[in-house]
Chain A
Amino acid sequence: MKARIFVTLKGGVLDPQGRAIHHALEGLGFGGVNDVRAGKLIELDLADGTSDEDIDAMCRKLLANTVIENYRIEKAA
């Protein structure tokens, strides 16, 4: 079983990395980019039957820092 964890900065948390990417895109001549936020994708290969509660606990205890980040779990077969 695979799960993909998307970790993103909460709204209102400054993202210097996203801002640098934004500037670089503009430097390449791409107009019309309103904003850029950078995040992380963590792919987990899990034993079948791993509970949703366990995956959620992994996110809360380590994969995301919930002071500054949100996470979203996407499970694939």
Chain B
Amino acid sequence: MKSAVIVFPGSNCDRDLAVAFEAATGSKPAMVWHRDTELPDDIDLIGVPGGFSYGDYLRSGAMAARSPVMQAVARAADRGAFVLGICNGFQVLTESGLLPGALLRNAGGHFVCRDVALTVENAQSAFTSRYAAGEAIRFPVAHHDGNYFADDATLDRLEGEGRVALRYAESVNGSARAIAGVLNEAGNVLGMMPHPERVIEPAHGSTDGQRLFAGLVEGLLARA
């Protein structure tokens, strides 16, 4: 099972995500620099980590989305590789067009950094298969631009197609329809603002995030 974590200048959750990938897959992910134009062949799982790529210049995720490596990520996603974008990674995926919508400044104007209550909306996806539909979980968030926006037609389509993977169960950032995580049409790309990689060991205070990674590995094994 081959995994990779993309590293942009200003990424700061890349190593945490690598630890989570290694714990779940049993092998170290390749750390791929943003200038690289290729990913390892037959890559199974790609993480686009949190942080402040390019200092959030222009718009959060805007510069990273146009970096060379994102072309390779898009090709891998087309082939069916799993792509998980967390926090800034979610912003990069929307900016690059791999996911619909955009992430605006939080409605309250404040940076939000705390654990939040979430509801698993779709437990059928590879990312959420180890959770129950409607299950209440808690993940930390740490973001300034997490206010999910899309036009009503897009939101209706996402809801109708079961592409809202996670929803906030409390007021967090003003996201349209309290959306915390969305899937692409094929279900192999997930973007989410909360940080599952920060709750994978008992010492973290919770292991709610562990099952997301375990479910992905299970999904990959089932494919093989």
Given contacts A67-B101, A68-B149, contact A16 B106 (CB under 8 A): yes
- Whether B108 and A16, one on each chain, are in contact in the complex, defined by CB atoms closer than 8 angstroms, is yes
Chain B residue contacts of A62, Cβ below 8 A: 58, 62, 66
Partner of A14, one of B59, B100, B107: B107
Does residue B132 face the partner (Cβ distance < 8 Å to A)?
Answer: no
Chain A residue contacts of B107, Cβ below 8 A: 14, 16
Chain A residue contacts of B150, Cβ below 8 A: 67
Interface size on B, residues (CB 8 A): 19
Residues of chain B from 206 to 222 with CB closer than 8 A to chain A in the complex: none
Partner of B105, one of A17, A61, A65, A67: A17
Chain A residue contacts of B133, Cβ below 8 A: none
Q: How far is the CB of B109 from chain A (nearest CB, A)?
A: 4
Does residue A55 face the partner (Cβ distance < 8 Å to B)?
Answer: no
Given contacts A13-B149, A14-B147, A14-B174, contact A65 B102 (CB under 8 A): yes
- Whether A67 and B102, one on each chain, are in contact in the complex, defined by CB atoms closer than 8 angstroms, is yes
Q: How far is the CB of B115 from chain A (nearest CB, A)?
A: 23
Does residue A63 face the partner (Cβ distance < 8 Å to B)?
Answer: yes
Q: How far is the CB of A71 from chain B (nearest CB, A)?
A: 12
Does residue B104 face the partner (Cβ distance < 8 Å to A)?
Answer: yes
Residues of chain B from 149 to 172 with CB closer than 8 A to chain A in the complex: 149-150
Chain B residue contacts of A61, Cβ below 8 A: 66
Partner of B102, one of A17, A20, A68: A68
Number of A-B contacts (CB under 8 A): 36
Q: How far is the CB of B66 from chain A (nearest CB, A)?
A: 6
Residues of chain B from 86 to 113 with CB closer than 8 A to chain A in the complex: 94-95, 100-102, 104-109
State the CA gap A14–B147 with chains docked (Å): 9
Q: How far is the CB of A60 from chain B (nearest CB, A)?
A: 12
Residue of A nearest to B61 (CB): A65
Given contacts A63-B58, A65-B59, contact A17 B109 (CB under 8 A): yes
Given contacts A67-B149, A67-B150, contact A16 B59 (CB under 8 A): no
Chain A residue contacts of B95, Cβ below 8 A: 65
Residue of A nearest to B154 (CB): A67
Chain A residue contacts of B102, Cβ below 8 A: 65, 67-68
Given contacts A14-B107, A16-B107, A19-B109, contact A65 B147 (CB under 8 A): no
State the CA gap A11–B158 with chains docked (Å): 22
Residue of A nearest to B108 (CB): A16
Instruction: Apart from A16-B108, A61-B66, A68-B104, list 4 A-B contacts with CB within 8 A.
Output: A16-B104, A65-B59, A67-B100, A68-B102
Q: Can you name 17 A-B pairs with beta carbons within 8 Å?
A: A14-B149, A16-B104, A16-B105, A16-B106, A16-B107, A17-B109, A20-B109, A61-B66, A62-B58, A63-B58, A65-B59, A65-B95, A67-B94, A67-B100, A67-B149, A67-B150, A68-B104
